[in-house]
Amino acid sequence: MSKPLILVTNDDGIYSKGLRLLVKLMQQLGEVIVVAPDSPQSGMGHAITIGNTLRLNETDIFDGLTAYHCSGTPADCVKLAKNVILKDRKADLVVSGVNHGSNTSISVIYSGTMSAAIEAAIEEIPAIGFSLCDYSEEAPMEHIEEFVIKIAQQVLDKGLPKGVALNVNFPPKRNESIKGIKICRQTRAKWQEEFDQRFDPNGRRYFWMAGNFVNMDKGEDIDEWAIANNYTSVVPTQYDLTAYHAISILNKEWEI
């Protein structure tokens, strides 16, 4: 049996520690190719590059592997990998990350990491976004390795329901080992922004966005609960945004 073909990408850029870890681990499971952004793309959501040109260049930073860096977004990387690099071959798995920072809860919609995974799901390729709930560029990651392997292997063995990608978050390194894996729903929460107003050397105003995470959700089946209690969270995530329950409400209530 031939080895599975695994595309590795991320949103922190081709030089990030999380990408290097994912490349190393995926080589244990299959044939790896890498297509990752030139530079960090955090907060890019599901952006794609349609009004500008894209660069895609090969790199030898991953010894012996086919690897490219791209001027675009994570979603662009998946599209270029499929259409320009792989062409007639189809990846068996797309993995994105390991992101340096949490993508639990509402962060999933701002996440470049998850946009790559969702882009792959649209192409009917099983896909996983991995994120570590520690924003440090040098965050310890040894404690997550066995879970990355285990989850990727499950997806290779069993596939995923159509239209679904996985949003996987890991707790930061703590004294105690990670307790296990919980399949969760997305926490109902939001970011409460505070804009830091400053003035440039010419006296003109600008802002930095900053914010606090506000969790309104007391459930124990949510990804935030899993992380707080030292579990790995797995949220099956879909790109059909239809609020089906609202269709009948609108049909009943509206005068149209």
Closest CA to 184 of 126, 238, 133, 237: 237
For 113, other C-beta atoms within 10 Å of its C-beta total: 33
Three-state secondary structure call for residue 51:
coil
d(CA 93, CA 121): 10
Stretch 138-177 residues interacting with a second copy (CB under 8 A): 150, 154, 158, 160-161, 163-164, 167
In this structure, the chain runs to a length of 256
- State the minimum distance, in angstroms, from the CB of residue 209 to a second copy: 6
Three-state secondary structure call for residue 198:
strand
According to the binding rule CB under 8 A, does residue 194 interact with a second copy? yes
- State the minimum distance, in angstroms, from the CB of residue 174 to a second copy: 20
Closest to a second copy by CB, 15 vs 110, is 110
Stretch 111-140 residues interacting with a second copy (CB under 8 A): 115, 118, 122-123
Stretch 49-88 residues interacting with a second copy (CB under 8 A): 49-51, 53-57, 75-76, 79-80, 82-84
According to the binding rule CB under 8 A, does residue 247 interact with a second copy? yes
According to the binding rule CB under 8 A, does residue 110 interact with a second copy? yes
According to the binding rule CB under 8 A, does residue 106 interact with a second copy? yes
Stretch 21-50 residues interacting with a second copy (CB under 8 A): 40, 42-50
Closest to a second copy by CB, 48 vs 65, is 48
Angle at 144 between CA 126 and CA 221, to 5 degrees: 70
Three-state secondary structure call for residue 24:
helix
Stretch 210-229 residues interacting with a second copy (CB under 8 A): none
- The DSSP letter of residue 174 is -
- State the minimum distance, in angstroms, from the CB of residue 235 to a second copy: 6
Q: What are phi and psi of 190, to 5 degrees?
A: -150, 170
d(CA 128, CA 121): 9
Please choose, out of 26-34, 60-68, 134-142, 199-207, the segment that lies near a second copy by the rule CB under 8 A: 199-207
